Amino acid sequence: MIFNDYMNCIEADPTTEKEIPLINAASQVGCDYFVMDAGWYAEPAEKWWDKVGVWQPNQQRFPNGINEVFEMIRAKGMIPGLWLEIERVGAKSALKDKPDSWFFMQHCQRLQINSSYFLDFRNPEVIDYVNSVIDRLLTNYHLGYLKLDHNSSTFMGNDFAASSPGQGLLEHQRAYLQWIESVQSRYPDLVLENCASGGCRMDYAMLSRKQLQSSSDQTDYRKYPSIIVGTMAAVLPEQLAVWSYPLKSGDTKEASFNMVNSMLGRIHLSGQLADLSPECVAQVHQGITIYKTEIAPILHASIPFFPLGMSAIHDEYSPICLGITSEYADYYAVGDYKANLQ
């Protein structure tokens, strides 16, 4: 049971002050992990996007240090986690001053997409650097979870020390997978979430090495069921991370819809949890209780099925149904977008 502070919540603008009520609320409804998403390294007035790469917490955001937040999480009986986009370097990051051999290249020039450069994991110096980041964060903060994101496409490839951009990209990707294996070998209890702007880069080269897969960054809970059905055809239920983000402006029906969305995969709770009405909190807590006692114990043995087939994401009229079956029990999630019922 994971709480993540991003979706329809803090949205990459964390501070100690903002995290405290969320930590309390997540603990009260039964979360096991609490993950701080993007922005923890950026100046308060900066865009989180442009400065990734150095991975040092910002003192203004956390006046007493970021570890104060992680200690609060542990004090509430949860395991702290952190977001990283370890492969990308923002155009305003100090890391951009490293030699070109550290980065993807095209025609003797550094590849830049969306104000980003991309580390080349074939370079031993890059591996040494990213290992130093991981070791520092896990050792200093005793983290048990890393969300590894990847928000820009590298489809153009890397022709540095390669016969073609495709060869360079393939060799980099294989080196990245070997690096993930080395991280898991050094930290066998660490949970790794595979994310790429939500559900991109979703394959079992990644998921044979990472435990969880982000399903989407869809912000509208009513449009989420069709995505869940589609991704459940590609990812094991016990690996599929699905957002549940009830809002303070919503009612108990909306809170229930959000919970049912996520309950046949791995619940990733977010939203405005600390500001919900007591009635909505009760719905969230009930969903988590059912999930922990009935569904989670059999999820690894369950197979998804699709009683009504697949649904187009913009279909606002057809009901959607997802099921999981096992020798122990069958569960169904039925959604009606138009009626806002589940």
Q: Which of 141, 146, 131, 133 is nearest to 84 (CA)?
A: 146
Average pLDDT over residues 83-97: 97
Q: How many Cβ atoms from other residues are within 10 Å of residue 316's Cβ? A: 11
The domain locations on the chain are 2-214
CB 31 within 8 A of CB 269: yes
Would you give the DSSP letter of residue 221?
G
Average pLDDT over residues 10-16: 97
Task: Answer yes or no: is pLDDT of 253 > 90.
Answer: yes
Predicted confidence at residue 341, as pLDDT, reads 55
For strands 330-335 and 320-325, give the pairing.
antiparallel
Q: What percent of the chain has pLDDT over 90?
A: 90
Q: Which CATH architecture does the domain made up of 2-214 adopt?
A: Alpha-Beta Barrel (3.20)
What's the pTM? 0.96
140's CB contacts (< 8 A; 6+ apart) are: 67
Predicted confidence at residue 300, as pLDDT, reads 97
Q: Which of 150, 78, 81, 76 is nearest to 116 (CA)?
A: 150
Structure tokens at 291: 């999930």
111's CB contacts (< 8 A; 6+ apart) are: 103, 104, 105, 117, 118, 154, 156, 158
CB 226 within 8 A of CB 321: no
Strands in the chain per DSSP E: 2-4, 33-36, 79-84, 88-90, 105-106, 109-110, 116-118, 145-148, 191-194, 212-214, 240-244, 266-269, 303-305, 320-325, 330-335
Structure tokens at 210: 């990472």
Average pLDDT over residues 173-192: 98
For strands 88-90 and 330-335, give the pairing.
unpaired
Average pLDDT over residues 122-132: 99
Using one digit for the tens of pLDDT, what is the confidence trace for 259-278? 999 999 999 999 999 999 99
CB 183 within 8 A of CB 121: no
Using one digit for the tens of pLDDT, what is the confidence trace for 207-220? 999 999 999 999 99
Task: Answer yes or no: is pLDDT of 338 > 70.
Answer: no
CA distances from 179 to 103, 197, 243, 325 (A): 16, 21, 28, 35
Average pLDDT over residues 10-31: 98
Q: What percent of the chain has pLDDT over 70?
A: 98
The full DSSP string for 35-78 is EE-TTTTS-TTS-TTTTTTS----TTT-TT-HHHHHHHHHHTT-
